[in-house]
C-alpha cells in the first residue's frame, strides 16, 4: 500500500503592529488540487501498521511541533519579517483519525471520533450531537489508560477513557475527507436515480422485486452508455463518474417524467457547482 502525507498552504494573513485583527492576504481556492497540495512524504506502508507509520512520520511530527512553537524570521524588502505557522490536520479518513488519535478501531463501542457516544447511545439519539473530543483530551485519557490512577477494572477504565487505547500521535481536525464525502454523496444519488427510474413518488411502498428491477435498469444503462460496471460497494472512481452531467443525462433517458428529469438535472448541476 502507498500512503501520501501532503501539505497545502491554506491561507496567509498579516497582523500589523498595534492591530488587533489579522488581514488575510492569500487564501487557497483549490486546496485539493495537486497544484497546491504537495506531497511531503510518500511511503510504502500499510496505514494500519502503527509502528512503521509512526516511525516514518515521527520526524515530520517532531518538526511540526518545533515549528508551532517558534518563529521564522525572513528578510523581505529589507525588513525582517516574522512568520508563525498554524497547522490543521485535515482530510484523514475515519480509520486514519482513529489511528492518529489513539482511538480503538472502527468496530469499537465508542462509535464516534468526534464525541463520546457509544453505539447504544447513538442509536437512541440521532440528532443532538456536538464535537467534544480533542487531541489534548485524548492525550490526557491515554495517560489515565496507561497509569490507571484509580485502580479500576479494565471495563471501568475503558469507560473512563472512552475508547482511547494508544498514545495519540498527531492532532487531527474534525473534517470529512474528500474521498468519503464523494462516496457518501454518490451513494445517495445512486439511490435517487433508482427511485426516479421507478417513479417512487407515485408508488410509496414498492416491493423488493420492483426495487431490484429499477436498480438492474440503472446498472444496465450505466454499463451500456458509460461503460460503468456495477459495484458491490460504492468506491471513489464510480462516485466521480456518477456525479457528472453526462451520467445524469444517461439516467434521464430512463426517467419517464420530463419534469422530474429536469429537476434531476438541476440537482446534479447544483451539486457540481457546490463542489
List residues binding Zn ion (CB under 5 A).
Answer: 112, 114-115, 117, 129
Quick check: 194 and 254 in contact, CB under 8 A? no
Distance CA 112, CA 178 (A): 19
For Zn ion, give the closer residue by CB, 122 or 226: 122
With H, G, I as helix, E, B as strand and everything else as coil, classify residue 46. coil
| Residue burial 131-156, b: 16+ Cβ < 10 Å; e: rest | eebebebbeebbeebeeeeeeeeeee
Strand-pairing partners, residue 82, are: 73
Q: Which is nearer to Zn ion, 174 or 236 (CB)?
A: 174
- Beta strand 79-83 with 72-76 is antiparallel
Nearest to residue 239, comparing CAs of 222, 214, 224, 216?
A: 222
Q: What are phi and psi of 67, to 5 degrees?
A: -65, -35
Asked if 20 and 62 touch (Cβ cutoff 8 Å), the reply is no
Q: How far is the CB of 110 from Zn ion (least distance, A)?
A: 9
| Residue 95 CB, nearest approach to Zn ion (Å) | 16
Cβ distance to Zn ion smaller for residue 70 or 132: 132
Q: Which is nearer to Zn ion, 116 or 195 (CB)?
A: 116
Smallest separation (angstroms) from Zn ion to the CB of 106: 14
Q: Which residue is nearest to Zn ion (CB)?
A: 112
For the bound state, the minimum distance from the C-beta of residue 89 to Zn ion, rounded and expressed in Å, comes to 19
CB of 158 to Zn ion, least distance (A): 18
Residue 101 CB, shortest distance to Zn ion, in Å, is 14
Nearer to Zn ion, 25 or 126 (CB): 126
> Which DSSP helix (H) or strand (E) runs through 242?
helix 236-242
Which of residues 117 and 186 has its CB atom nearest to Zn ion in the complex? 117
Amino acid at each position: 500500500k502507498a500512503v501520501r502525507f501532503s501539505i497545502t498552504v491554506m491561507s496567509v494573513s498579516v497582523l500589523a503592529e498595534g492591530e488587533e485583527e489579522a488581514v488575510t492576504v492569500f487564501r487557497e481556492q483549490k486546496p485539493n488540487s495537486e497544484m497546491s497540495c504537495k506531497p511531503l512524504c510518500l511511503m510504502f506502508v500499510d496505514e494500519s501498521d502503527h509502528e512503521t507509520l509512526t516511525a516514518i512520520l515521527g520526524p515530520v511530527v517532531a518538526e511540526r511541533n518545533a515549528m508551532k512553537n517558534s518563529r521564522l524570521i525572513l528578510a523581505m524588502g529589507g525588513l525582517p519579517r516574522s512568520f508563525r505557522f498554524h497547522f490543521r490536520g485535515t482530510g484523514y479518513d475515519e480509520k486514519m483519525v482513529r489511528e492518529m488519535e489513539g482511538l480503538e478501531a472502527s468496530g469499537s463501542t465508542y462509535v464516534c471520533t468526534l464525541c463520546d457516544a457509544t453505539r447504544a447511545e447513538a442509536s437512541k439519539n440521532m440528532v443532538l450531537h456536538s464535537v467534544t473530543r480533542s487531541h489534548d483530551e485524548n492525550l490526557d485519557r491515554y495517560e489515565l489508560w496507561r497509569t490507571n490512577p484509580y485502580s479500576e477494572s479494565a471495563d471501568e477504565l475503558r469507560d473512563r477513557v472512552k475508547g482511547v487505547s494508544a498514545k495519540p500521535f498527531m492532532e487531527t481536525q474534525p473534517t470529512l475527507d474528500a474521498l468519503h464525502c464523494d462516496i457518501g454523496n454518490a451513494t445517495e444519488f445512486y439511490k435517487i436515480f433508482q427511485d426516479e427510474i421507478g417513479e417512487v413518488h407515485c408508488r410509496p411502498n414498492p416491493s423488493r422485486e420492483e426495487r431490484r428491477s429499477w436498480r438492474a435498469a440503472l446498472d444496465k444503462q450505466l454499463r451500456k452508455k458509460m461503460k460503468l460496471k456495477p459495484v458491490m460497494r460504492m468506491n471513489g472512481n464510480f462516485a466521480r463518474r456518477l456525479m457528472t452531467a453526462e451520467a445524469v443525462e444517461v439516467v434521464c433517458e430512463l426517467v419517464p417524467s420530463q419534469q422530474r428529469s429536469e429537476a434531476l438535472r438541476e440537482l446534479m448541476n447544483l451539486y457540481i457547482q457546490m463542489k
